[in-house]
Amino acid sequence: MDMISLAHENGFAVTRELRRVEQKQLGQFMTPPAIARAMAVRACSRLSLKKTVRVLDPAAGAGVLAAAAVQELLLQDERPEQICVQMFELDGRLRPILKQLADRMRREGDRAGINVKVGIRIEDFLLSDVACDKPQFDLVVANPPYFKLNKKDERASQHLYAVYGQPNIYGLFMAACSRVLNPGGRWCFITPRSWTNGPYFSQARRQMLLRLHIDAMHVFESRQDHFTDDEVLQEAMITWATARSGNANAIEVSTSAGIRDLGESVLHTVPACEIISEDAHNIISLPMQESLPETRSFQATLASHGLKISTGPVVAFRAAHHLSGVPKPATVPLLWMQHVQHMRISWPINKKREHITANAETAWMLVPNANMIVLRRFSPKEDIRRITAAPYIGGSIPGNVLGLENHTNYIYRPGGLINADEAKGLAAFLNSFYVDSYLRRVSGNTQVNAADLRGLPLPSLSALIEIGRRISAASTLMQADAAVDHVLGVRQKVGVA
């Protein structure tokens, strides 16, 4: 029996004894030998030869993947003099079989004239010093556990750089392992497919793509074929990648006022994707030195501030018989996007159908006449900013309730109130040059939808309120920009397109 089959059989014997729920809690689903071999063959094929090759299996289980990597390295035509394997496993019950495997690895190494060193650490990889340390491995092979983590889990806090919304533990493994690879090192993961899209993995993806060049992907089309022993129903894929050499995907940015202070300029390494938009336009926004720390320190989102964004519920053609061009006893204002300008709501503007009847039939589509931020859902391409947002201060136009037409979005606090400074501050921030250049960098689309805004990094609530305190409810865009600039220290300069 080869090393891989030994590890797999030993592991299967242990997990067979576990209850399903226990297996799920630890994400203990072992890789079948054929897959482990396929992963290792491809991962080792491009490995640049070094005297010592350092291998990491961060969630070793029974060590199937580490075994496959060592076996493959021993079979190479050009072999290293030494192989150092580091395995992490949380479950102490697997220690004896990992020790047995380690002995077998050493013996196979001796037979091939290669010194094989094996380290086994029974601990949480994500909380280990290694996961946060400098690059030191040449090869990472992993089948990490898969389950959602609470955002407050220590592992999520330790790897915040890869967290957006509720993290899945496997995304943290992928991102953390991309950081511990030496340049040119190889990274191979078998995972569910969900990391490839969607907002929850966006930060993990960003981290990975910053450090890795994806070389190959294999998709399993059948849901259970590959994990038959463990009856896993996962849509799985394997990804092979290489750690980028140098800073190919990062750009060093420095600024100086002129020639005299050139020598004092501070270097910032900024991910290329934060500077060059990844759409066909490849717009280059030069970040100003002052803006760099703030750009990366905004950690909040609408959701973390307890806010929600929704689309205006009034669909004009469906509610046509409730709309009117003139006020009537039972009508309340209906806000269309034409009523929304940067930092200002203007109503009425003698527009057709800017009134809506408030009655039992329309009650569901009306919102309380309270503080909120109203945004245009569509703006002309040539508009100076991608977002047009205005603070609405409750009671500034008549009615207990208001209509919001479907071409608007509005931000409110479910089950709570937004105070006036918060509404002004958030509207000013959304209209600001900072948000505009951020959106230009992350999306080529000139229209900003509610999902984009849900993902937008925001400053703290206290900073937003402080911005709001500095402006009136009907300030100009310039005044709002100045307040944002003052509070956040973001210099309102125009990027170079």
Ligand X SMILES: C[S@@+](CC[C@H](N)C(=O)[O-])C[C@H]1O[C@@H](n2cnc3c(N)ncnc32)[C@H](O)[C@@H]1O
Minimum distance of ligand X from residue 155's CB (angstroms):
7
Kindly tell me which of 88 and 336 has the beta carbon lying closer to ligand X: 88
Minimum distance of ligand X from residue 196's CB (angstroms):
18
Minimum distance of ligand X from residue 103's CB (angstroms):
19
> How far apart are the C-alpha atoms of 349 and 300, rounded to whole Å?
36
Dihedral sign computed on CA atoms, order 313, 314, 318, 319: positive
Kindly tell me which of 145 and 468 has the beta carbon lying closer to ligand X: 145
> How far apart are the C-alpha atoms of 271 and 251, rounded to whole Å?
6
> How far apart are the C-alpha atoms of 71 and 75, rounded to whole Å?
6
Kindly tell me which of 81 and 133 has the beta carbon lying closer to ligand X: 133
Minimum distance of ligand X from residue 449's CB (angstroms):
36
Helix or strand run (H / E) with residue 43 = helix 33-45
61 part of the interface to ligand X, by CB under 6 A: yes
Kindly tell me which of 26 and 334 has the beta carbon lying closer to ligand X: 26
For residues 438 and 270, the answer to whether their CB atoms sit within 8 Å is no
Residue at token pair 């205005």: 390
Query: CB-hemisphere CA count at 13 Å for 344?
Result: 14
Q: Could you say which of 47, 83, 89, 422 contacts ligand X (CB under 6 A)?
A: 89
Kindly tell me which of 128 and 247 has the beta carbon lying closer to ligand X: 128
Q: Could you say which of 10, 28, 178, 371 contacts ligand X (CB under 6 A)?
A: 28
> How far apart are the C-alpha atoms of 251 and 275, rounded to whole Å?
8
Binding to ligand X, residues 317-336 (CB under 6 A): none
Minimum distance of ligand X from residue 487's CB (angstroms):
39
Q: Could you say which of 67, 74, 84, 90 contacts ligand X (CB under 6 A)?
A: 90
> How far apart are the C-alpha atoms of 277 and 271, rounded to whole Å?
11
Minimum distance of ligand X from residue 116's CB (angstroms):
18
Q: Could you say which of 60, 177, 253, 345 contacts ligand X (CB under 6 A)?
A: 60
Helix or strand run (H / E) with residue 462 = helix 461-469
Surface-to-core class of residue 262, CB atoms within 10 Å of its CB (0-12 exposed, 13-18 middle, 19+ buried): exposed
Query: Which range binds ligand X by CB under 6 A, 58-66, 319-327, 358-366, 409-417?
Result: 58-66
Q: Could you say which of 47, 59, 97, 427 contacts ligand X (CB under 6 A)?
A: 59
Query: Which range binds ligand X by CB under 6 A, 23-31, 43-51, 324-332, 485-493?
Result: 23-31
> How far apart are the C-alpha atoms of 29 and 142, rounded to whole Å?
12
Binding to ligand X, residues 91-130 (CB under 6 A): 91, 124-126
Query: Which range binds ligand X by CB under 6 A, 84-92, 295-303, 389-397, 464-472?
Result: 84-92
Minimum distance of ligand X from residue 165's CB (angstroms):
20
> How far apart are the C-alpha atoms of 214 and 244, rounded to whole Å?
10
Minimum distance of ligand X from residue 430's CB (angstroms):
38
For residues 146 and 195, the answer to whether their CB atoms sit within 8 Å is no
Minimum distance of ligand X from residue 343's CB (angstroms):
47
65 part of the interface to ligand X, by CB under 6 A: yes
Kindly tell me which of 72 and 89 has the beta carbon lying closer to ligand X: 89
Query: Which range binds ligand X by CB under 6 A, 22-30, 253-261, 328-336, 400-408?
Result: 22-30
Residue 448 token pair? 């900003």
Minimum distance of ligand X from residue 227's CB (angstroms):
9
Q: Could you say which of 3, 4, 6, 26 contacts ligand X (CB under 6 A)?
A: 26
Phi first, then psi, for residue 82 (nearest 5°) are: -140, 145
27 part of the interface to ligand X, by CB under 6 A: yes
The CB-based long-range contact list for 358-362 (8 Å cut-off, 24+ gap) reads: 358/330, 358/331, 358/332, 358/399, 358/400, 358/401, 359/322, 359/330, 361/322, 362/319, 362/322, 362/403
Q: Could you say which of 64, 162, 332, 372 contacts ligand X (CB under 6 A)?
A: 64
Minimum distance of ligand X from residue 86's CB (angstroms):
12
> How far apart are the C-alpha atoms of 382 and 36, rounded to whole Å?
53
171 part of the interface to ligand X, by CB under 6 A: no
User: What is the number of the residue whose Cβ is closest to ligand X?
Assistant: 61
Kindly tell me which of 144 and 391 has the beta carbon lying closer to ligand X: 144
Report helix, strand or coil for 399.
Answer: coil
Binding to ligand X, residues 139-168 (CB under 6 A): 143-145
Question: Of 461, 442, 186, nearest to 299 (Cα)?
Answer: 461
Which string of b and e fits 131-163 if b means at least 16 CB within 10 Å? beeeeebbbbbbbbbbeebeeebebbebbeebb
| Residues making contact with ligand X (CB under 6 A) | 26-31, 59-61, 64-65, 88-91, 124-126, 143-145
